Amino acid sequence: MSTSPDPIIQIDNVFKNFGKIKALQGVSTTVTRGEVLVIIGPSGSGKSTLLRCINMLEHPDSGNIVVDGLSVMHKDTNINQVRAEVGIVFQQFNLFPHLSVLENIMLAQRIVRKRKPEEAKQVALQQLKYVGIPEKADAFPAQLSGGQQQRVAIARSLAMNPRIMLFDEPTSALDPEMIKEVLDVMVELAKGGMTMVVVSHEMGFVRAAADRILFMDQGRMIEEGSPDSFFNNPREERTQAFLSKIL
């Protein structure tokens, strides 16, 4: 709706090494409020590392990342405050196996957002309804299918009312017939105006929801653009080679 650029994530010349492996080599980009950015690239290209730098699961070696006005590199920034505003969904779901679905969604609301149990429960039930499995509230993670677990993980993040949602290959660990139920939720979320950064190769999602695509290789941004121009007229040779393999 708003055409004026309203940056919510500013990534500025970020470098990150794991020992000798150069994961990120000077990556810069800006995500505006409500934008859906999809990062693609071969494995080891640094796309997950970039995503994990946004909520400080990894610390950049140099450069800066500003999330909603707060620099994650600044010493005075309360990292937990940033993280509460940035939800992340992992490839391996990472639900808490000792807690029921409802308790999984309530835990952080109660101890981080300091919500009362009744309020946290209400929010949790509402989010479960949103992801389409309200009947699983009392189940335990081990009793759910992969797709259901991932939807609970999304509900768990959404219950914190984040301003940004990060998705780190959310469908890579799923059986093919369960991918769609997770993607449907993500598309719904994108249409609702959530700012999203998604690492995924699911072309179904890209076509339905992506505003911009960023292609990375060997820790560098190679190319970015709208899905249309990206798929139809890739400029770089490396991009063309990659696309010819995955499409």
Partner 1 sequence: MTAIPQKIGESRLLSATSKLEKWPWWILAIALAAVLIIFAIITSPFYQDAFNFIKEGVLTTIRVTIIAYGLSMVGGLILGLGRVSKNVVYYNLSTLYVEVVRGIPMLVIILYGAFVVVPLSLDLLNGLGAWLAGFAPLAGFGNALQSFNIQQVDMASRATAGLAMGYAAFEAEVFRAGIQSIEKGQMEAARSLGMTYFQAMQHVILPQALRRVLPPLGNDLIAMLKDSSLISVLAVRDITQLGKLYRARSFRSFEAYNTMAFLYLSMTLSLSMLVKFIERRMSREHQS
- Where do contacts with partner 1 occur on this chain (CB under 8 A)? 55, 57, 80-81, 83-84, 86-88, 90, 92, 94-98, 107-108, 111-113, 142-143, 153, 156-157, 160
Of the two residues 71 and 94, which places its CB atom closer to partner 1 in the complex?
Answer: 94
Of the two residues 97 and 192, which places its CB atom closer to partner 1 in the complex?
Answer: 97
Distance of alpha carbon 158 from alpha carbon 167, whole angstroms: 12
**CB of 170 within 8 A of CB of 150?**
yes
Of the two residues 66 and 166, which places its CB atom closer to partner 1 in the complex?
Answer: 166
Of the two residues 141 and 227, which places its CB atom closer to partner 1 in the complex?
Answer: 141
Minimum gap (Å) between residue 120 Cβ and partner 1: 13
Own/partner contacts of 129-132, CB < 8 Å, gap of 24 or more, are: 130/155, 130/158, 130/185, 130/188, 131/155, 131/158, 131/185, 132/181, 132/185
Minimum gap (Å) between residue 27 Cβ and partner 1: 20
Of the two residues 88 and 179, which places its CB atom closer to partner 1 in the complex?
Answer: 88
Minimum gap (Å) between residue 154 Cβ and partner 1: 12
Minimum gap (Å) between residue 55 Cβ and partner 1: 6
Minimum gap (Å) between residue 137 Cβ and partner 1: 17
